[in-house]
Structure formats: C-alpha cells, structure tokens
Structure 1
Amino acid sequence: MQEYQLALKDKRIAWGKALDIEALIGKYRGDSFRQDVNAALDWNLPAGVYRAKEVVIELDKMLEAMLVQLGEPVNGDPTVLLDSLQANLAISGRVSSLPLGPLALEDKAGVEITAQAVRIGEQLVSWAREINAGKKAFAKYGPEALGKLEFRSHCYGHPLIPEAVAQVWGPFGGPRIMQIYNEYLHQFVLLRDALLPFANWEEVPFEVKEYTEFKGLRFLEPAREVFLTQLLGKKLTHKSIVQYAQSVVSSGLSKAGYGFQYRLGTVLPAGLGEPARTAAHYLLKWHPVHTIAADDEFAAVSFDYEYDDYYAAPRIETGKGTPVSKDAFPVTGEHYDEPSIARLLPNADTDRTTLRFSLEMEEGEFSVDLGQLFRGHRFLYRPQRSGDAGAALAKRNSLSWHLAADILSHSGLVTNTDGIHFIPTGGNELVLWALLGKQYPENVVLLDKGDEEELEAAYVSGKGFGAQFLVL
C-alpha cells in the first residue's frame, strides 16, 4: 500500500492509502450531445467523474452551437457571449449571479468564500475562452449537427449585459438561442458555486450521474439553495460548509463532522499541510487518499470530533510553568528539530470515526484529536492592538513559559485560571498545530516573532480576561 504524504515546509504529514484518480477522469459513458424524439439535439453531462475543467469542456459545446446558429453576423466570435458570462460570474455589477461584493462580508467564513468566488469565476471564464478558441466541438460534430441543438432551459433566467441582449435577441437570435444560453450560464453558476468550499477546487473530482429530472449539474440545486441562504444570511458555519461539500461530491453522507471520506478521496479543513499563521480557517481541501480502508462500494465516512461539545470536554490546568518577568519576554525555549513527520491515525468503531494527529518526539509520543486541532485553529487570535497593554498585564498575576512537550503530555484540553503562558514551538509547524489541538480554544494567541511591539498587541488580544496562551 502506497502511503499518502503531504508536505509542510520541511515536514510531512502521512496517512492512508494514496489514490490514482487520473485514470477515472474523462471516461464517460456516452456523449453530452444526444438526439431527442424530434430529431433535435439535446445536451446533458454524460455520467462519469469530472473535475472543473472537464465540465467547462462539455459546456463549450453549447457555446459553439450558439455561434453556429447565430450565423454570419457573429461569424463564430464568442466575445460578447463570454463577456456576459464573465459579468455573470463576477461578485458585483448589475448582472452578478452572486453579489458578494456589495455585501462586504466580514466574518472569516464569508471573507474566505468571497475570495473563492472571485478566484473560481475568473479561472472558469479564462478556461471558457481558451477552450472555445480551439473549436473542437465544431471539428467533431460539424455545423449541421450543432445547428440542431435545441431544448427547454427550466430556469428563472440570468440577466445579460446589453451587448449580449442585442445579440441573443437580435435578428438571428430568439427564444431558441436564449434557451441554450440561459442553460450555459446556469451550468457555469452551478459549477462555480459547487466549488466554493474547496481551496484546491481545480483538483476536486466529483461524480455526475444522469437524471431524467435534472440536466447537467442541476442535481446540486437543492443543496446550493440551502448553502447560499446560510452564506447570504451570514449564518455560515464550518459544519454547513462540510455538509454542502458532501453533497457536491455525491458522498451519500447525511450527517456532517469536520471532514469526510468519499469514493474519490478525503476532504479535510484546508489548514492541514499549510502554515498555521496563513492557512484558511473555513475552506476545505481534497486529498487523493483513502484515510479509512474501504472498497469503492462503501468508502463514505464522516470524521467526528472526539468532543462534540468542546465546552464539556475534560480540562486540566497547565500548572505554573517556569516564572519569568515581563522584561524577560520573549523567551526562546526549546528548539524542536523533531518531529519531522506527523501521522493521522484513525479510530473507527460502530457508530463514529475519529482521527488522531500523532507526533514522535524525544520526550515521547503525543497525539491530539484532529478535529480539535482544526477547531483550535478556527478559534485562535492574532495580535491586534485594541487597548492598554499595561492594564491587560495588571489583570493577570503571573507570566510563565512552558515546554511544548509538557503541554502535549496532558490528557484532556489544557487551560488555566489566570496568568499569561508562553509556549515556544521552535519554529516546528507540526508542534504548533498539535498545540492548537491540545489547548482549550479560548484566549490562544498565535505570534509571529514575539518582539516587544507584537507582545504588547497580544496582551490585549482575545477575550481580555482569564488565562492567556501565547504560542510562538
């Protein structure tokens, strides 16, 4: 069995059985063009495994058919139709299908999803322009066949830029062209929105089945409606993002944890394998690995938190640590060259599956719940000046530092009633991530360099009361 490994700077995270997905991509049972009972051509995605670009390739066939049917005045030039697609996938403007720009969402989840919408929309349009330039559908089917494409697009209608309105409804356009173009736009919107949860959205494989009641990606509409209602209502949670992602990849799972496995890989929070200081907090990432050994018929597994409610989890106090004075900060502590590798260890029983993030250090072997690790990352604070550092220090009666190994050796979640507790990691990202999974996620502040200016900002970051943990 080939083990899957993920690089994190000079460190590695290893687990599960690596999968070869490439052999499944683009192997479709049928063609996206097929004749209907009236001898016209219809369009639908054939059943198979897709990534985003493969869907765009199939959508281009509709665009090429429109260009043929619009005839000589357009002469195969897709510029106007693609410009309207670009405006539709933008996050602002009159014809935007997802106007997140004017909303200016400020919550972490909203900010990350907004940036995703921009990135994905821009790349999809770039692919659409690139693929259409090749005119492969024209070469494969010919103008006579493309001229027969006709179907009813059951949709409320997407607005167009004025130039596209003039072209689609002009002398050579009309309802037939409008129906095709409406479906073309709608399928792009569904594709963009389906990929919003995934940081590495270009790589995510998902299965499409042919339904008699759904065309292309329309089977995603019910889940998309719920997801966008939460996003636009500013009630988007990590769990709701996972729930939506499970629907997008047709996992078959109904309950949601913090991540999951499906037939084509494993989906976990995007922070895994990234530096904690810059990693996304709410996005997910697909990995080509089966974390839990399973055959294709039963590969879907939801990953649960060890503690469903972290507030009720057992807690243990750190102890006083090594006392230091304010002038002695920052302290460097230990330098952790090891560990160089962490492993994800599954624990599956009859009704739930948890994963452990395990490290081997000179002081022994330590492990934390992977779900709690991601939870700790979502809840951490960064130094941000918001008050009087001197007053914040006066509220806490002690300053101390702790070895990371000492913190990791405790059972339960580590906390304290008072004081400022400094925990150096020696620049080891694996140790840093493990600490985020071991500490009770309250008043944990992640530092960059621990200089005087940053420390003063850190003292007034977080909740402003109770024990504070500064991790460097």
Structure 2
Amino acid sequence: MTWHDFGDGRAVTAASFVAAARSLLDAAVDAAGGGEETRADFVAGLAACLATSGPYATLRLDAGLVDQGVRGELATNVDAVSALVLDLVADAPPPRQTGPADIHSSCVGYSWIPPVVRRLIGGPELHPARNLYNEWLWQLVLLRDALIPFTNPAEVPVLAGPDGLTRLQDARDWFAVQVMTRRIAHEAIVRFAAEVVAGARAEGAYGFQHGGAVVLPPVALDGPVLGPAYLLTYRVGTLVPEDVAFFVPATGQETATLSAPAKAAGEVEVVSLSDRLVPGPPGPAGTRTLTLVVGFDGHEWTVDLGQALRGHRYAARPSGPQRTSTSDTATWSGCAVLREDGVVAVPDGGLIPTGGQRALTLALLGRLRPGNVVLWTGQDVEPGSVLLDVRG
C-alpha cells in the first residue's frame, strides 16, 4: 500500500503533497500508540527539523558568510516556507484511505527531539512507527527545501514521483552544500529550482520556462525593484513556444563612458516608458536569451535581461541616515545612458532619477557598469557612487 496517488510522476502543490503525506503521519501516530499528544510531539519534531538553527535543524543558516545579501534573502524565505509547511500540516484533511502499516524509509537519519525519542525508542513493535515517522519527516523536509527558491511557494507545482520527492535527494544535498558552506551563486538557485519543477538541469541560466509557466526573478515579472534579487517567482504564462527553455545572458558587450553633460538636480525629466520582453532565437541545449525592450515617444531601447538582472543583484541597497539635499549632485538622464551601446561607465558618479519605474530602473541596471551602483532612496552614500533614485 502506498501513501499517495502520484503514480510515475505528476506535478503537485505543497498543499496536495502535505495532504497526501498525512497518511504517513496518521499511520505513524497509530503505530506509536495513538493520541493527540503523540501527534503533537511528531509535529514538534518536524518543526525542529525545519528550523535554521539548533541541533535538529536540517539546513543551518546561522553560520557562514553572513555579509551576503543572498543569504539574508534565503534565510527569510526558508522561515516563510517552513511556516507554510507547518500550517499545511495543521490544516491537512484526513486522508481518503488508510496509510501503509509499515514502509521502507529513505530517511537519511535526521535527529529526533527528546519527546519523539521517548515515543519511538522501545521494543520491536515500534519499528513500523519509526519507519513511518522517518519517511514523513524526510518527505516534508524535502518539500520545504524544494520550495526555498520561490517567492510564492504555495503556487509552485513540484514534480513528485513514485517515491514522493526522494528523486530530489542528490539535487537537494548539492543545493544544501551551496547554501550552508559557499558564496551562493544565483545560477545554483535556478539550477535547483529547475530540478524541482521540471526535473531538468539548468546550467548558467537566470530563469526558465516549463509546462506553461515561467520562472524568473520577481523584478522581471513586475515585482518591486527593492524586492528579492536572488529568489524566483513562478508565473503561469509563456514567453517562448518550447515546453522547456532556459534563459541565459547574452555575451560580448563593450564598455562605453557616458559623455553627455551632467545637469543640475531637477533639470532632468523622468519619462514613463513602456516595456516588454522579447525572446532571442533558440540556442544550444534549449537555451534562449531575453531582451528587455523599453520605449517612449516612438523610440525604443534594448537591454539584455540577463545583464539587467546581474546589475540588480550587484546593486547596493544601503541603509542609514537620510540625505537632506541633492542640490550638489550631478544629475544624469536615464535616456542618455540607454542611448549608449553596451555597458556604460558614469564618470565620478551622480544621480539618475527613475521616478520609481521598475522597467526604467531595470533597463539602466542592464547598462550601467556594476560595482558602484546604488538603488537609492535618500541615504548618505560614498562619494563617486552612481545613485539610481528609485523613489516614486
């Protein structure tokens, strides 16, 4: 007897997966003697495993390279996804069929909290309870980790198979190593997300399309400029005709120095731009480029979306005291930047108003040379910085 109806493989939401896994939990509770206290202890054990610190945590984020913005984004999202999973466990409806009496668990030996140890360590009659609890714990830890890359985890269809999410074991272990021990590359997050959703490997991609939906950083899908730069959003809809496509950066951009004269603050008009994403021709191994096209008054400028998202990841987001005036700051026209070819260097820094427009800001981030670009909301910053004023 199995605990799910996933067959040889199908996409399921987190709610559907947790609901199916409840048969494992119910069977484990019954095999351990039953009772709501037993169930509460088992759920508490799951909560301890989903924590990001402490002796029972399966993904430690309380140590390592703490100065990374990506680590902060991931840690916040891990907490949010863990809370989602625990809420779904609390609300999961009773299963339509009785769960298995025993199971061969794939669990890799996650630690048990003391109340669970007291429930499960005993005579041989508790062997099925241990197996069932281990498998339930293992499957829901895999689910939590599978959803970490996404800003909207409740909406993401995860590809489950005959063994639940066990197919993700190797990919999850690889991703956990990246998260816990290394400087986390955006490509690593995208690669794991593609394994979760599509069962495919994305190399060097910043997003992908699969099964009638696109997965991209949220700022590329109308998300806020000051929102996450490393996480991904799942959105129903297509950009290219292929069922599976991996979006990769274009290559070979030259560097230009902005030569238009600087203007005084208040002299540069911020125009409203239209925008759209245009796919490039199919490339090797199912790859495509995407071009962000922005237009105003009959003029259009193009920026490679991969370069724009790279600039978004590299741009500083300072905190600190607010500057009282920008009257002494050289102000540049965003259109002057977009008119240049390739990557643009702004001499001696300055201020570029955007009017809070997402598309204009993203287009500028795709043209400005990374390194001293700041997403600016009024803070005091180091001299020589290029301030993209993202205030509306």
TM-score by length of 1: 0.74
Q: Map residues 315-354 of structure 1 onto 2, 5 A cutoff.
A: 315-324=255-264, 330-331=265-266, 333-336=268-271, 338-339=272-273, 341-351=274-284, 352-354=287-289
Deviations 1:354-383 (A, max 9, x none): 111112212611221111111111111234
One-letter identity of the residue aligned with 2:149 = P
Aligned to 1:64: 26
Post-superposition CA distance 1:407-444 (Å, at most 9, x none): 1122111114x322321123323212211112122211
Contact 2:32 2:126 in 1 (8 A): no
Q: 1:382 aligns with which of 296, 317, 321?
A: 317
Provide the rounded CA distance (Å) in 2 between the counterparts of 1:151 and 1:322: 71
Q: Assess if the C-alpha contact under 8 Å between 2:312 and 2:365 holds in 1.
A: yes
Structure 2 unaligned spans of 5+? 322-327
**Counterpart of 2:151?**
199
**Coordinate RMSD, CA, aligned:** 2.5
The answer to whether 1:470 aligns with 2:372 is: no
Task: Indicate whether 1:304 and 2:211 are aligned.
Answer: no
Alpha-carbon distance change, 152 to 256 in structure 1, aligned in 2, over 3 angstroms: same
* Shift in Å, 1:43: 6.0
Conserved? CA contact 1:377–1:436, under 8 Å: yes
Aligned in 2, Cα 1:469/1:77: closer, same or farther, shift over 3 Å? same
The SS at the match of 1:348 is coil
State the shift of 1:154 in Å.
3.2
Residue equivalent to 2:216: 268
The 5 A counterparts of 1:129-168 are 129-131=90-92, 134=93, 136-137=94-95, 140-141=96-97, 145-146=98-99, 149-168=101-120
CA distance in 2, matches of 1:106, 1:420: 25
**Structure 1 residues 353, 177: CA separation in 2 closer, same or farther (over 3 Å shift)?**
same
Q: 2:211 and 2:62 mapped to 1: Cα distance?
A: 35
Q: Work out the CA distance in 1 between the residues paired with 2:62 and 2:385.
A: 36
Q: 1:434 to 1:63 in 2, by over 3 A?
A: same
C-alpha separation in 1, matches of 2:208 and 2:279: 12
Given residue 229 of structure 2, which amino acid in structure 1 is its aligned partner? Answer: H
Aligned residues: 379
C-alpha distance in 1, partners of 2:299/2:52?
A: 50
1:402 alignment partner AA: W
Equivalence for 1:121: 82
Give the match for residue 324 of structure 2. none
Q: Which residue of 2 aligns with 1:400?
A: 330
2:110 aligned with 1:110: no
Bigger radius of gyration: 1
Q: Which residue number in structure 1 is paired with residue 308 of structure 2?
A: 373
The CA distance in 2 between the partners of 1:370 and 1:188, in whole Å, is: 35
Q: Provide the rounded CA distance (Å) in 2 between the counterparts of 1:445 and 1:173.
A: 63
Matched, 1:313 2:253: yes
Aligned with 2:354: secondary structure? Answer: coil
Partner amino acid, structure 1, of 2:341: S
Q: TM-score, normalised by structure 2?
A: 0.89
Q: What code does the residue aligned with 1:266 have?
A: V
Q: What letter matches 1:406 in structure 2?
A: A
Residue 169 of structure 1: how far off its partner (Å): 2.7
Code of the residue aligned with 2:56 in structure 1: it is V
AA matched with 1:400 = A
- Give 1:384 deviation, angstroms: 5.4
Task: State the match for 1:48 in structure 2.
Answer: 10
Aligned mates of 2:224, 2:342 — CA distance in 1: 25
Q: 1:223 aligns to what? A: 171
Structure 1 equivalent of residue 292 of structure 2: 357
- Using a 3 Å threshold, how does the CA distance of structure 1 residues 385 and 125 change in structure 2: closer, same or farther? closer
